[in-house]
A and B are shown apart, each in its own frame.
Chain A
Amino acid sequence: MSQENAQSVLNAEPLSDADQQIDDAINKEYSAGFVSNIESDTLEAGLSEDVIRFISGKKNEPEWMLEWRLKAYHQWLEMEEPEWAHVDYPKIDFNEISYYSAPKSMADGPKSLDEVDPDLIATYNKLGIPLHEQQMLAGVAVDAVFDSVSVATTFRENLKEAGVIFCPISEAVHEYPDLVKKYLASVVPVKDNYYAALNCAVFSDGSFVYIPKGVKCPMELSTYFRINEAKTGQFERTLIIAEEGSEVSYLEGCTAPMRDENQLHAAVVELVCLDGAKIKYSTVQNWYPGDAEGKGGIYNFVTKRGIAHTNSRISWTQVETGSAVTWKYPSCVLKGDNSVGEFYSVALTNNYQQADTGTKMIHIGKNTRSTIISKGISAGKSSNAYRGLVRFNAGADGARNFTQCDSLLIGSECAAHTFPYIESKNPKAIIEHEATTSKVSEDQLYLCQQRGIDAEKAVSMIVNGFCKDVFKELPMEFAVEAGKLLEVSLEGSVG
């Protein structure tokens, strides 16, 4: 074969067009990566007792809260950074991080939305968060957390009528100290893990939700988190208490600007689901994942856990597309009889992203049931691990678990792992676990292309189909957003 011929054969390779599109798609920028020019009060980097006193002081916290934080800080000092996760990143210097940053105009405290810095509102608009009540998608109440403080909480009046409390946790400390004292760290103890302890010491804000007995929350509650300042860490704390027979659906979304250095996000979320209550917690996590060379991005080290009492139900749904490193295991402690835990997850990693995520289902009560559906997609040079624990204690008669974790590999340089820990001490409990790993089927791809759908679109369709079981668990607006996010993050990683 002459050289010319050889060249033409190469050119005729069926996917080369698609490759081009794919490259274009990969180069698509992180759309939430802008920086807002907002003057802010940022504490100097470093962590000490004084920093904690400063944060506590800024929030006018009562003495008990400060003491609690200091105790947590001292416990944290004695703990060691966990290294068991299947992720690899340079050691974090906790003295390089600033632990508090607040937009300056917040210092006087806005009384209503009209007083909020217009730039800030513009930022949220840019992100597509319908902060203004008039612009809201029907019935979504938003608590927006910007760097370290809660900026605005919408629809508070409407919620109050129903008896629902939805406010920044810094406010709850003042207004509902009994509830906070009773439930804070009741699900995730201070010493639970390294990052949880750190969060206890320095958390600056977050959301507090209280649903009274028998109340079905009239609207979806939602929080948006955004890290804006450079070299700051974000440590938010969410506490949701659903009293007997109540119901709530809570959504959470996150973004950050594009920066070269890595930033730390270590949140704690606690759910208290009392007898017969239902909590549905959905997350779309789109922190800045770093650039194509793996530079920058957010370290997302999050502890999320719920306690389910008798006949209650906790449902975690997460779509994880962002962050350079993710370390996150939303868990359910199924303490009460007949309680139900669910975990639906889509985790997508591209470029140099690393994710070690999964769940823990601890079955303590009788006839407790749990379902785990995890879909991992790895592309580029990323690494995506599912790590889960299903434990049946001796008293968990009639308990059931079904776990399915599927991984999809796109490209020959990525990695997918599954580490499920399954422990049973009860012969009357039934556990089923299955996992599969495969690549995007060439047959499916071929079929789509044959029907005139280009490779990029076809992959997106196939991946969306792969994640269908999880997306259908998301509230409608989020499902649409999640689908789009996947498209942007992934499109065309097929070569």
Chain B
Amino acid sequence: MTSTPLHAAIAAGSTLNSRTATSHATTKIADMQNAAAHAWAQTPWPTRTTEAWKYTPLKALEKGEHFTPAAKNTLTSDALKPFEINRLEALTLVFIDGHFCAEQSDDLTQLPTGMTIEHLSDASDLGQFNKAAGEHATLFGELNTASIDAALVISVAKNAQVIQPVRVLNIASANKPCLANARILWQQAPHSKATLVEHFVSTQGSHTFTNSITELFVGENAECEHYRLHLEDEANLHIGGVYSHVHKHARLNSFYLAMGANLQRVDVVTQFEGEGAEAVNNGVYLPRNKQLVDFHTCIEHKVPHCNSHETFRGIIGDSARAVFNGRIHIHKDAQKTLAELSNKNLLTSNKAEVNTKPELEIYADDVRCAHGATIAELDALAMHYLRTRGIGQAEAQVMLSFGFINELIEQLNNAAIVEYLRPVIAQRFANKSELLDSLTNNALI
């Protein structure tokens, strides 16, 4: 690996450091950035022998051109129209290539009761910034921390029940390869309830490398509904991480969808910080053409009496590849833990490939853990059944594939998101419009 990209990125990090420290908080940020830039420079570049990157080559990044910081770009309101989610009625925050875009975002002065949103650099204190991500720092996490530009802090006050979802719309729009660092710090105080929708999209002809980190802190008895939808075009790259701390009796419900980007890697680390908490991490990945999707999930059962459920399903077609690594780590004192993980894959092409590794690492005895993984093609019996009912081969295939994924979509709590995703996913399988309609409509019933 040449040092060019490393140097470029470090340079990007250090220019930020030259910002004059105006408050205690900004000094702290500068320190953090320096430390992260240093760590980024010290961490060796991942190769095939790096366990966490065994199946995910980073060739696309090795040319180094993706490490030029993205310039500020603006888009018209019309250009943003296609990215709307009908009936979600969310408070929308727009980021273009990692830069916060106030003009296109909803008015930050008129927020739902109990919610505050501020830039990290304006924040009076850093709160829990980098507390969760820092514990599991990765090479790209350091890069993100080294060059946090427009990190937003979204806080929900104690006892606040925010019904309006917050949608963070990240648009990749740069027409030349560049680096966009996106960072969200989401903190929910005890007994609060809120919904976060992370929506990653791209404009035509964009070549952005998005390096995103989201930290979720779910306080005692709080409830967090979290969606992360990756719908970028295939010319973009994305490496990201979602790091959460779930406190006593809190509940985190996350859903991941990966349909975009040529290379997409998401690290999901959910850590229990208090007893009686529950976390659900579900996900769907549908890579095609030459896409590579990589989910590395890790559930840290640090304390007793917590439950975790995880279901990831994928359909891999063309020459695409999928990587799934689902780790359940039960610490020494985490007795009475219940942890489940399931990963099911459908391979639909001779050139497609899937590598899955559901891991259990258990240091407590009074626990119940199970994981399962399958890789197969469509069930021949189900196929036969549909054919006997007069349904054509191609149509039957689409119905079964869609059904396989739709099972997870239908479970989502937010009806607007379900409505938004159903046609998006159906489109992946059905080329004929009548089939598409019937799928979308049937599913509605």
Q: A420-B357, A433-B372, A439-B367 known; 8 other A-B pairs, CB under 8 Å?
A: A414-B365, A418-B371, A419-B357, A421-B355, A426-B347, A430-B375, A432-B374, A432-B376
A191 at interface, CB cutoff 8 A: no
Chain B positions within 8 Å of A423 at CB level: 55, 353-356
Give the total number of A-B pairs whose CB atoms are below 8 A apart. 114
Taken residue by residue from 246 to 261, chain B's Cβ proximity to chain A (1 for < 8 Å, 0 otherwise) reads as 0000000000000000
Contact A434 B372 (CB under 8 A): yes
Contact A417 B376 (CB under 8 A): no
Contact A433 B374 (CB under 8 A): yes
Chain B positions within 8 Å of A436 at CB level: 368-370
**With known contacts A415-B363, A433-B372, A422–B356 Cβ distance under 8 A:** yes
Chain B positions within 8 Å of A116 at CB level: none
Q: Which of B359, B365, B374 contacts A419 (CB 8 A)?
A: B359
Stretch at the interface among A43-51, A123-131, A146-154, A405-413: A405-413
Chain A positions within 8 Å of B360 at CB level: 407, 416-418, 435, 437
Q: How far is the CA of A167 from the CA of B356 in the complex (A)?
A: 43
Interface centre among B345, B351, B371 (most CB of A within 10 A): B371
Contact A416 B362 (CB under 8 A): yes
Contact B366 A435 (CB under 8 A): no
Q: How far is the CA of A407 from the CA of B363 in the complex (A)?
A: 12
Chain B positions within 8 Å of A433 at CB level: 358, 371-374
**With known contacts A416-B360, A427-B347, A427-B350, A422–B365 Cβ distance under 8 A:** no
| A384 (CB) vs chain B CBs: closest residue | B362
Q: How far is the CA of A429 from the CA of B361 in the complex (A)?
A: 28
Q: Which of B348, B361, B377 contacts A417 (CB 8 A)?
A: B361
Taken residue by residue from 429 to 454, chain A's Cβ proximity to chain B (1 for < 8 Å, 0 otherwise) reads as 11111111111000000000000000
Q: Which of B351, B361, B366, B375 contacts A424 (CB 8 A)?
A: B375
Contact A410 B365 (CB under 8 A): yes
**With known contacts A423-B355, A427-B350, A435–B372 Cβ distance under 8 A:** yes
A219 at interface, CB cutoff 8 A: no
B352 at interface, CB cutoff 8 A: yes
What are 24 residue pairs bridging A and B, where the CB atoms are less than 8 Å apart in the complex? A84-B51, A407-B362, A412-B335, A414-B365, A415-B361, A416-B360, A418-B359, A420-B358, A422-B375, A423-B354, A424-B355, A424-B375, A427-B349, A427-B377, A429-B347, A430-B375, A430-B376, A431-B373, A431-B374, A432-B373, A436-B368, A436-B369, A438-B367, A438-B368
> Whole-angstrom distance from the CB of B377 to the nearest CB of chain A?
5
Q: Which of B362, B375, B377 contacts A437 (CB 8 A)?
A: B362
Q: How far is the CA of A17 from the CA of B352 in the complex (A)?
A: 59
Q: How far is the CA of A419 from the CA of B343 in the complex (A)?
A: 14
Chain B positions within 8 Å of A428 at CB level: 377
Q: Which of B332, B352, B370, B374 contacts A435 (CB 8 A)?
A: B370
Contact B353 A425 (CB under 8 A): yes
Q: Which of B354, B355, B365, B376 contacts A439 (CB 8 A)?
A: B365
> Whole-angstrom distance from the CB of A413 to the nearest CB of chain B?
8
> Whole-angstrom distance from the CB of A80 to the nearest CB of chain B?
11
Contact B355 A422 (CB under 8 A): yes
A394 at interface, CB cutoff 8 A: yes
Q: Which of B345, B349, B369, B373 contacts A420 (CB 8 A)?
A: B373
Contact B370 A434 (CB under 8 A): yes
Q: How far is the CA of A428 from the CA of B374 in the complex (A)?
A: 13
Chain A positions within 8 Å of B370 at CB level: 434-437
Within 8 A of B (CB), among A428-483: 428-439
Binding site for B on A (CB under 8 A): 84, 392, 394, 407, 409-439
Q: Which of A412, A422, A438, A439 contacts B357 (CB 8 A)?
A: A422
Chain A positions within 8 Å of B162 at CB level: none
| A391 (CB) vs chain B CBs: closest residue | B355
Contact B376 A435 (CB under 8 A): no
B364 at interface, CB cutoff 8 A: yes
Taken residue by residue from 20 to 58, chain B's Cβ proximity to chain A (1 for < 8 Å, 0 otherwise) reads as 000000000000000000000000000000010001000
Chain B positions within 8 Å of A421 at CB level: 355, 357
Q: How far is the CA of A50 from the CA of B357 in the complex (A)?
A: 45
Q: How far is the CA of A84 from the CA of B52 in the complex (A)?
A: 12
Chain A positions within 8 Å of B357 at CB level: 419-422
Chain B positions within 8 Å of A394 at CB level: 350-351
> Whole-angstrom distance from the CB of A87 to the nearest CB of chain B?
13
> Whole-angstrom distance from the CB of A15 to the nearest CB of chain B?
15
Q: How far is the CA of A432 from the CA of B374 in the complex (A)?
A: 4
| A436 (CB) vs chain B CBs: closest residue | B370
> Whole-angstrom distance from the CB of A421 to the nearest CB of chain B?
5
Q: How far is the CA of A420 from the CA of B371 in the complex (A)?
A: 11
Contact A426 B371 (CB under 8 A): no
Q: How far is the CA of A422 from the CA of B360 in the complex (A)?
A: 14
Chain A positions within 8 Å of B55 at CB level: 423
Q: How far is the CA of A392 from the CA of B349 in the complex (A)?
A: 14
Chain B positions within 8 Å of A420 at CB level: 357-359, 373
| B49 (CB) vs chain A CBs: closest residue | A84
**With known contacts A394-B350, A415-B362, A427-B350, A437–B367 Cβ distance under 8 A:** yes
> Whole-angstrom distance from the CB of B204 to the nearest CB of chain A?
32
Chain A positions within 8 Å of B351 at CB level: 394, 425
Interface centre among A414, A426, A433 (most CB of B within 10 A): A433
Contact A412 B353 (CB under 8 A): no
Q: How far is the CA of A434 from the CA of B381 in the complex (A)?
A: 22
Chain B positions within 8 Å of A414 at CB level: 365
Chain B positions within 8 Å of A426 at CB level: 347, 350
Taken residue by residue from 318 to 349, chain B's Cβ proximity to chain A (1 for < 8 Å, 0 otherwise) reads as 00000000000000100100000000010111
Q: How far is the CA of A421 from the CA of B357 in the complex (A)?
A: 5
| A388 (CB) vs chain B CBs: closest residue | B357
| B377 (CB) vs chain A CBs: closest residue | A427
Contact B366 A439 (CB under 8 A): yes
Q: How far is the CA of A434 from the CA of B357 in the complex (A)?
A: 11
Interface centre among A425, A429, A439 (most CB of B within 10 A): A425
Q: Which 10 A-B pairs have the closest CB atoms?
A: A409-B365, A427-B347, A418-B360, A431-B375, A437-B369, A430-B376, A434-B372, A433-B373, A424-B375, A436-B370
Contact A435 B350 (CB under 8 A): no
**With known contacts A426-B350, A427-B348, A427-B350, A417–B359 Cβ distance under 8 A:** yes
Chain B positions within 8 Å of A84 at CB level: 51
